[in-house]
Each structure stands twice: as structure tokens, then as C-alpha cells.
Homo-oligomer: A and B are copies of this chain.
Amino acid sequence: MTTTENRPTSTPASTPQPTPMPGADVPVQAEHLTALHSSHTRVEREVTGPNGEALRVPVSRVGLTNGETFDRYTTSGPGSDPEVGLPPLRAEWIAARGDAETYEGRERNLLDDGRSAVRRGEASRAWRGERRAPLRAKDGTRVTQMHYARRGEVTPEMAYVAAREGLPVEKVREAVASGRAIIPANVNHPEAEPMIIGRDFLVKVNANIGNSAVTSSIAEEVDKLTWAVTWGADTVMDLSTGDDIHTTREWIIRNSPVPIGTVPIYQALEKVDGKAEELTWDVFRDTVIEQCEQGVDYMTIHAGVLLRYVPMTANRVTGIVSRGGSIMAGWMLAHHRESFLYEHYDELCEIFAKYDVAFSLGDGLRPGSTADANDEAQLAELRTLAELTERAWEYDVQVMVEGPGHVPLNLVPENVQMQQDWCHGAPFYTLGPLVTDIAPGYDHITSAIGAATIAMHGTAMLCYVTPKEHLGLPNRDDVKTGVVTYKLSAHAADIAKGHPGARAWDDAMSKARFEFRWHDQFALSLDPQLAQEYHDETLPAEPAKTAHFCSMCGPKFCSMRISADIREKYSAARGDDAGVAAAEADEALAEAGMAAKSKEFVELGASVYLTPEKAGAAKG
């Protein structure tokens, strides 16, 4: 290897192997999983928590035709009835800590559902699930995972994510204590299965959903949520700005097995009828508390957009493209005052500490074009986000930092390197970035290129981009395409970073490929349905699913078959399997092996052909 500049510091060689999960397996019904592929089942493994709790950690188990199984990390949850929601998985763990109490909660307000809340009543009547009073920390206490971690305490949440990631629990606690990772876990969202976001863990993917002035119903949004987590979304952000904001979010949270994020300034703007200059700290604060009580796990706060940074965007090619950033810029322009988010930041920290809501510090000045990448405005804001990170940590509040956007590929790594240096390793959460501006309709791809690269260099979570980016609102298919595209980018980064066990998935797929186990190739793929559909377009017949060839070369000649012959030879030549060790496959062995075998090979019919009999024989 001539250079290793690009090799991340943590390589497969230097990382610990995954700790096998102890405990017993419990298979669980989950139709939405088997819907993906008949070979997928949800299995919950019982692991004992720090206080003797029985933690049931889920995996998606793939049954293979060779009798083996392969366990995949799953985000899809046990499946829920939209009108009832999910069981409160974490309720007992939270109660057992005894540091939170229920209270009456903020009074509901007609504005909560926006200006024309046409369907609210209807949705509220339809709800058949439990209605819980909100929880918050008792006076003088903090209920954040960071708080516990810093006290040296291992929570069930930490044990759960350690088992999910196959890593030592102490590694999890230490990362949360130091701020290098977060476990978004609002005490009012007990339905969520704990997960961790940090550079030393599996790269996570967020999917944005939410209605807008132009669309859509509550049922549609809950369906989008379930759809997104079924395909692998690790968190979901509800960016609704249309009708029934409060009620839509309520249904999404109650049905969500993953952490839910929001951008509260969107709802606050609706409450002042869309007039940014009429926003006030009180309206915003009230909206944040409303969402804390519902169970939002992390909130995007654009507190880094300062008055003095606004003019830095004046001669950009695309100015300010962040909606939150431009709302705050609009407010500051109107009042010529510093951002109320910045000025009341400590109060926000106090609120977040009472519910364990994590900051997602918004990059309101992110570049909207490759021309504006890494400019003065973007970097000035990042410096402020670093300051805000440290201030949140003083309150034991968990923090991640948002990043771009649109960035030329050669400038991508320094974005995460600067963020990690300046923000002391706080998790980076980026939107792509897109590495070119010229491919609307393909921006899930232009951004997947930037996403895989920035994740390899240390970004902890990737916000997906769908094919509709810059053009319209994503539909169901776009959500799926966006999630699958980002899962493959995240996994590519996991392999590049050498996350323990990440490569095992690729190896299982490659073995299935080499052995022509077509059904297993479908079952193991990120999108089993599409993989089989594409295969069947050319070779629909069922026998082709076991045939030792594919449509690329056709039945007559097959590369893989020749490789099988080679393997046979060199195993045979040494009379044992060790004979295949490429390390020992030197010229001497080659000569010996081939001299002995070449004659016999021809006698056998010298098969670069593939006859059905041979196909059969080769299977054995």
C-alpha cells in the first residue's frame, strides 16, 4: 500500500471485535418485516440490564437457504396500530430512577394545531391509546443520559445500545459522558428503542417526514414514519408546517420506535401566522415546552445564526437556504437585535435537561451551493456552535451539531475535521452533503457520495436526501429510495471505519453470490423486493434462482464456475483446505497444483461450460 492518508485512524485491524450478545432469543410477530422478505423475522434477545432488568434487544434475523442465519440491526420496531401506538418500552426504567415526576403539563391552546386545524377533532376522537400525563425532572435534578453517564452510572438505555451495537457497555457510557455520543431519549417518549449517535458507533440515518401547506393527512404521515423505519431510518424528523401540527406529531411520536426530532421554530412561525418579525421568545419557549411534553427526542435550534453573520451571506450565490436560518435572519433584520435563541440559550438548556431533549444545533448558514461551501458565514456559525456545545454540556444536555449541505468532494473531509476539532468530538449530523449542483432528480445520489465520505471521516448521523430534493415533496417511494440510499452510504462508511462486524454482512452476501444462492442474495440485500424484481426481469423462471449462472454471461460460460474449479484444484493439490491459503499459493504450489491437475481437468470436460449435471455436481 503506497499511501494511507485516507485510511481512517480506526481500521478493521485496530478495532475490538463485537461482543456476542448473551441471553435467549424470542421470535416476535412483525408482519411489516416479513413483508420485506419471507426470510426476515424479528427476534428479541433477552439481555440482563444493569439493575437486573430484562432488556429485549431486537434484531432482524435472515434465514438462509444453506441453513445459516444472519442477524441485522433493525429499526423497524415491533409494529404498531396507528390509533393505539406502541407499548412504553422504557417506562419502568425511567420510573425506577425515581428522579422524574408527572405533572399537569402546559395547557393546550388552539394555536398548537396551527391556523386551520380542520382535522384535529377527528384525529383526537379516533385515538384509542393511553393518554399519559407528561413527565419531567424533579426540581433540582437532571434526567439526561449524559448526566447519568457522568455520574459513572450505566443505564438500561446504555446497556441496550451496547447490545445493539455489539460493543462493550463501558465504551457507550464513556462516549456519552464525554459528549462524543448521544442517546436521544426524552422521558416522554418511552416507546422508542434506545439507539446511540456517535463517531465510534454505527453511522445512523435520519429520514425527514411531515406535512406542509401543500399536503397531507395524519394517517399518511404515520404511514410514512412506519415506512421509513421499516427500510432502516434510525431517527425520523417531523417537519410538519401544515394543519394539525400538534396532533400529527402526537400520533407520530406514540407510534415511533425511533427517536423523533423536530425544528420547533417551524411550529412557532405558524403560531404567529408566518410573520417572522412577530416571533417572540415567549412563543418559542412555549412551543419548545409543548414539544418536550409530547416526547420529542431532539430539536434543531438555530442559535448560531448571529446578527453579525447575516451580512456575510450577502454576496453568496445562494444566500441563506436553511429555513430556520432565514426565519431568524428575517427576525433580526426586522428588529436589528441579536437572536433570541442565542440570548435565551441557557434557559433552553435548563428546559432540555428536565426532559432529556438533545440539541441538534442547526447550521442556519449552511451553503446551498458548491460555490458557497466552507465560506466565512458557514465557518463563523460553526465557531458559535462549538461555544453552544460547551454551554449545553455544562447542563449535562446532550448535543449534536448539524452540517452541510452542498460541498465539493475535495472539501468534504475538512468539514467534519473542523467540526470535530472545534466542537470537542460532539456528534456531527450532516445533510448529504451534495457534491455537485447539476443533477436535480438524482440528488439522493449526489448527496450519497458526500455522505459516505463525510461519514467515513467521522460524521455520526446522515440526514437523507430524496430524489425530490430541490424539486418537490417526497412521496412514499421517495422516502424508501432516500432511506435505502443512505443506509448503503452509512454502511459503506462503517466498513471503511472498521466498525466491528460491519463487513460480515458484505461477506455473507458475497458468499451467497459465489455459491449462486439467489434467494439468499435477495434476502440479504437492503431491498430484497427490488433485487428479486430486477433479477426476474431477465430470468423469471424459478429454476434460475438456483441455477449456477446469471444473465450477464448466460448459461454457457460462467466466471464463478471457473473460480470454483480453481478452488477445488488447490484444495486437492494439498489434500486439505489449508492448501487454499493464498498466502501460501506461491509459484511452486502453482506448478505442482496445475501440473497434477491440468490433464484430469481436460478429461473431466474442461468445463468453462456449465451443463445442468455439472451445476448439480458443483452444488454438492
A530 x B334 contact (CB < 8 A) = no
Compute how far the CA of A552 lies from the CA of B210 in the bound complex, rounded to whole angstroms. 11
CB distance from A359 to the nearest CB of B (A): 22
Chain A's interface: helix, strand, loop or mixed, by majority?
Answer: helix
Stretch in A85-93, A147-155, A269-277 with 4+ CB within 8 Å of B: A269-277
A374 within 8 A of B: yes
Query: Which of B421, B473, B598 contacts A334, CB < 8 Å?
Result: B598
A582 x B316 contact (CB < 8 A) = yes
A363-399 at interface with B (beta carbon < 8 Å): 368-371, 374-377
A488 x B445 contact (CB < 8 A) = yes
Stretch in A32-40, A344-352, A563-571 with 4+ CB within 8 Å of B: A563-571
Q: Give the chain B neighbours of A371 by CB distance below 8 A.
A: 503, 506-507, 510
A408 x B495 contact (CB < 8 A) = yes
A24 within 8 A of B: no
Pairs across A and B, CB under 8 Å, 11 listed? A2-B418, A5-B5, A6-B413, A214-B538, A326-B562, A440-B521, A441-B527, A444-B445, A470-B513, A471-B534, A472-B550
Query: Which of B276, B506, B525 contacts A441, CB < 8 Å?
Result: B525
Stretch in A48-56, A188-196, A254-262, A588-596 with 4+ CB within 8 Å of B: A588-596
A446 within 8 A of B: yes
A559 within 8 A of B: yes
Contact-size category for A: 35 or more
B442 x A472 contact (CB < 8 A) = no
B440 x A336 contact (CB < 8 A) = no
Residue of B nearest to A564 (CB): B319
On whether A276 and B606 interact (CB within 8 A), knowing A473-B551, A495-B408, A510-B437, the answer reads: yes
A323 within 8 A of B: yes
A493 within 8 A of B: yes
Q: Give the chain B neighbours of A485 by CB distance below 8 A.
A: 442, 445
A413 x B566 contact (CB < 8 A) = no
A534 x B472 contact (CB < 8 A) = yes
A587 within 8 A of B: yes
A313 within 8 A of B: yes
